[in-house]
Amino acid sequence: MRGQIRARVELVLRLGALGALVTALLLVVGVFRAGAPGGTPVVFQTAPIGAVATRTFASLVQQSLLDVPTTADGRANPLRPIHLLANAVPDEAARALASAARVAGLPVSWSDSTANRAAIAVEVQPLIDPKGGYTLRVAAPGGVEIALQDSLGLIDSVRAKFGGANLEVGRVAGTVRAVAGNSVAASSVPIAPALRRILLFAEPGWEAKFTMAALEERGWIVEARYALGKNVSVTQGAPVNPDTARYSAVIALDSSARAHVAAIRRYAATGGGVLIAGAATTLREFGDLLPGRAGPRQSGIPGALATATPLLGLAWRPMTPDSNAVVLEHSARKGTTNATLVAKRFGAGRVAAVAYDGVWEWRMAGPDGSVDAHRQWWSALVSAVAFAPEQTRDASGIPLQWHRDEPGRAAPYADTHARLGEPVAMPAVTVRTDRALPWELLLAVAAVLLLLGEWGSRRLRGAR
């Protein structure tokens, strides 16, 4: 009697194992699926970037599309909605899949559980400077710690303030990644721009001499036209009328530029960069090329050249910007907010006007490090206006290839907003995460345990 009961239990165990295996097989091939009831959202909880999460999300999209339940009268219910619970920004594949499903008519929504601290973006811009280098710009909520990395490892870490942070570096390799917690934004390193010559219009003197010296020491190639008198000039290099095919920028230091105003205006209108300084800011012939009106010349503060703010010791002409100009720098003098550097667009080019006069005195009479500071100051002014087109060919004429990033790679959080719309409240349903065990695996494990139980029972009673 006891043997018959054991035999029946063994039969039940065998049939249970067979049923579990058949059910798992049916789930795998898609005859029927485990999940939420028809019409209720299927929720996917994002996790740090990984292939497992993407595969799970793809299975949920497939489940919503293929497992469309029907009502009692045979009509199909609406497609099952999918909701992303963003504990971390969805990776590229998940964002693309969710966007495609949404465009195809599948209800897709998302809720933001990152408290906006994942809202980061990164941009890599080459410096317009003969010494090269790059500016890494990161957008992020204030207070967020961001690690900047390239293909060789960690570059530096910064804390976002007022919506982001900037960092200048000499060299970077491969792809730059900004990492804040579980969020990652990435940008490829662009090709350095093509830098051309600088054309200087000036009268012979200390200002012209040391302006040229500062730029050439930095690595710029400078050509100059020095006016000695009416229709008489001395040249350095082989200067011609300014053209973007030859020059990145034109500098006008004084009234000697009066004879070349028409050529400078044409150059700026076609995309060139123009820097107007010193007495040249008072030339009425420039007309609307000037980004602001220069006031009367004022003396510098005595003794300020030797301080930590040497520019206060220079003579200057307070600038009143035009309505379409931008003030890039204000005077640090107490009791005044006059502009010292203004800029605007003119046609396709950029024009900047500098208030200071006789800047060479800074180089000669300033504190320690003034020579290098003077050099960097002039180079930065030129870089702000210079025409520097992207290189398309190398020195031998071979086309240069640069992988241009998709916008979502550099700003994944913003890309999620663009693809899926504004986040909504979390629906009140059971959350299925990428860490949940699939039913197929549970059923397979149950089948193995049932078979082991049936086999153990048979062995204990001496049957094969």
Tell me: the pLDDT tens digits for 443-464? 777 777 877 777 777 777 666 6
DSSP state of 312: G
Q: Alpha-carbon distance 92 to 49, whole Å?
A: 9
pLDDT band at 137 (very low <50, low <70, confident <90, very high): very high
User: Are the beta carbons of 49 and 76 closer than 8 angstroms?
Assistant: no
| Range in 97-106, 147-156, 312-321, 325-334 the model is least confident about | 97-106
Residues 6 or more apart whose Cβ sits within 8 Å of residue 19: none
Q: Do domains 121-192 and 197-385 have the same CATH topology?
A: no
What digits encode the pLDDT tens for the residues 212-232? Answer: 999 999 999 999 999 887 777
CATH class of 121-192: mainly beta
Choose among 74, 63, 71: nearest CA to 41: 63
Does 318 or 105 have the greater pLDDT score? 318
pTM metric for this prediction? 0.70
- Identify the pLDDT of residue 21: 75
Q: Alpha-carbon distance 182 to 222, whole Å?
A: 48
% of residues, the chain, pLDDT over 70: 80
pLDDT, mean of residues 90-99:
80
pLDDT, mean of residues 44-67:
58
Q: Where are the domains of the chain?
A: 2-115+414-460, 121-192, 197-385
User: Are the beta carbons of 157 and 147 closer than 8 angstroms?
Assistant: yes
pLDDT, mean of residues 345-360:
94
pLDDT, mean of residues 104-121:
79
- Identify the pLDDT of residue 31: 47
Does the pLDDT at position 394 exceed 70?
Answer: no
Does 170 or 47 have the greater pLDDT score? 170
pLDDT band at 341 (very low <50, low <70, confident <90, very high): very high
**Most confident option among 61-70, 129-138, 442-451:** 129-138
Does the pLDDT at position 186 exceed 80?
Answer: yes
Does 47 or 349 have the greater pLDDT score? 349
Does the pLDDT at position 34 exceed 50?
Answer: no
Q: Alpha-carbon distance 215 to 234, whole Å?
A: 19
- Identify the pLDDT of residue 443: 75
Residues 6 or more apart whose Cβ sits within 8 Å of residue 204: 226, 228, 234
pLDDT, mean of residues 362-372:
92
Does the pLDDT at position 435 exceed 60?
Answer: no
Amino acid of residue 267: Y
Does 19 or 361 have the greater pLDDT score? 361
Does 404 or 390 have the greater pLDDT score? 390
- Identify the pLDDT of residue 1: 60
pLDDT band at 266 (very low <50, low <70, confident <90, very high): very high
* Second-level CATH architecture of 197-385: 3-Layer(aba) Sandwich (3.40)
Query: How many beta carbons lie within 10 A of that of residue 252, not counting itself?
Result: 27
- Identify the pLDDT of residue 68: 53
**Most confident option among 74-83, 84-93, 322-331, 414-423:** 322-331
Mean pLDDT of the residues in the chain: 82
| Range in 34-38, 272-276, 426-430 the model is least confident about | 34-38
pLDDT band at 425 (very low <50, low <70, confident <90, very high): confident
